[in-house]
């Protein structure tokens, strides 16, 4: 390294830092400040102390949204298991295997709006899914996947899972490909079968990837918005209402920006605590290279 004038690094860093400052750091700080105020963008901001937070505690709709968002976390273990199995399936040298990987990845690059529409169409009372279920005489078919209060949340959760499999598959695939072949050979010599091999050789080896997928998918589950908004708008009767959808409603339908910010702070802290806890517990530093 050579001596330079001290302002040189900051000429390169400057523009990026300004962007991050204005559009990321500033709004983050404002979110916390705003949560102690009442604001509707027309009348001036009014300091109300902890009133917004007190309102949250006794807001039944928030309770529903909060509960739903935590139920939504169930997508995480399901995603880990399915993506892992799919990764094992595509982790082999076969003609055309990269085509299959690409196909499984396709939902990942498609926008959630299109995916939501495609699945809303599948889920219709007279939709393809119900037709297939009727054809095999599935008891109870046809289902109101998006119109019944008991099915709407699981139906939307499935779409999150379906769209995510390819993404997490690639993460697992990277982990699988780094496992030395000798480990499997040793296992086979000891007479391990297919499942034993994966349980005792693969799983311990890809622990960092499991942790990474766990953290990423659970954070995404807590932040879920688009699939819910496109498919159910949180309905029917708020049965699929999640926290971010509720915040959106409070802010941009009812213009309660202060209250919405307080809700935002709650989620912000939930996510932060959740991810720090998980990284600590699993020494996640090694997972995120």
- Of 191-220, binders to another protein (CB under 8 A) are 219
Nearer to another protein, 50 or 85 (CB): 85
137: region left, alpha or beta (phi > 0 left; psi from -120 to 50 alpha): left
Residue from 51, 147, 205, 275 touching another protein (CB under 8 A): that is 275
CA angle, residues 183, 186, 187, in degrees to nearest 5:
85
In angstroms, the CA 115 to CA 227 distance is 8
Q: Does 96 engage in binding with another protein (CB under 8 A)? A: yes
Q: Does 260 engage in binding with another protein (CB under 8 A)? A: yes
Nearer to another protein, 24 or 186 (CB): 24
From start to end of the chain, where are the E strands?
37-38, 46-47
In angstroms, the CA 185 to CA 201 distance is 10
Rounded to a whole number, what is the largest CA-CA distance in the chain?
A: 78
Could you give the string, one character per residue 216-255, with x where binding to another protein holds by CB under 8 A and - elsewhere? Answer: ---x--xx-xx--xx-------------x--xx--xx---
CA-based Rg of the chain, rounded to a whole angstrom? 23
Q: Does 44 engage in binding with another protein (CB under 8 A)? A: no
Q: Does 106 engage in binding with another protein (CB under 8 A)? A: yes
Q: Does 60 engage in binding with another protein (CB under 8 A)? A: no
Residue from 174, 179, 183, 192 touching another protein (CB under 8 A): that is 174
Residue from 24, 81, 203, 237 touching another protein (CB under 8 A): that is 24
Q: Does 17 engage in binding with another protein (CB under 8 A)? A: yes
The tokens describing 235, both together, are 């309905």
In angstroms, the CA 128 to CA 108 distance is 22
User: Residues 6 or more apart from 157 whose CB is under 8 A from it?
Assistant: 72, 74, 75
Residue from 52, 64, 66, 127 touching another protein (CB under 8 A): that is 127
Q: Does 267 engage in binding with another protein (CB under 8 A)? A: yes
Q: Does 88 engage in binding with another protein (CB under 8 A)? A: no
């Amino acid at each position: 390294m050579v001596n330079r004038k001290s302002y040189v690094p900051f000429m390169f860093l400057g523009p990026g830092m300004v962007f991050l400052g204005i559009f990321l750091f500033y709004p983050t700080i404002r979110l916390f400040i705003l949560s102690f105020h009442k604001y509707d963008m027309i009348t001036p901001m009014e300091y109300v102390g902890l009133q917004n937070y007190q309102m949250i505690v006794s807001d039944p709709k928030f309770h529903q949204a909060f509960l739903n968002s935590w139920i939504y976390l169930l997508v995480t273990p399901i995603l880990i298991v399915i993506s892992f199995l799919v990764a094992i399936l595509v982790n082999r040298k076969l003609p055309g295997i990269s085509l299959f990987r690409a196909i499984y990845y396709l939902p990942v690059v498609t926008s959630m709006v299109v995916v939501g529409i495609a699945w809303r169409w599948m889920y219709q009372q007279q939709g393809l899914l119900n037709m297939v279920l009727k054809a095999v005489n599935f008891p109870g078919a046809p289902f109101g996947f998006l119109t019944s209060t008991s099915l709407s949340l699981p139906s939307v959760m499935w779409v999150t899972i379906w769209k995510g499999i390819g993404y997490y598959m690639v993460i697992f695939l990277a982990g699988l490909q780094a496992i030395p072949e000798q480990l499997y050979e040793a296992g086979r010599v000891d007479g391990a079968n297919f499942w034993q091999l994966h349980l005792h050789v693969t799983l311990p080896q890809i622990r960092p990837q499991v942790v990474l997928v766990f953290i990423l998918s659970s954070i995404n589950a807590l932040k879920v918005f688009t699939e819910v908004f496109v498919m159910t708008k949180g309905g029917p009767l708020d049965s699929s209402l999640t926290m971010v959808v509720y915040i959106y409603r409070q802010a941009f339908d009812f213009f309660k920006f202060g209250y919405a910010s307080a809700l935002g702070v709650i989620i912000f802290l939930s996510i932060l605590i959740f991810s720090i806890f998980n990284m600590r517990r699993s020494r996640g530093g090694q997972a995120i290279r």
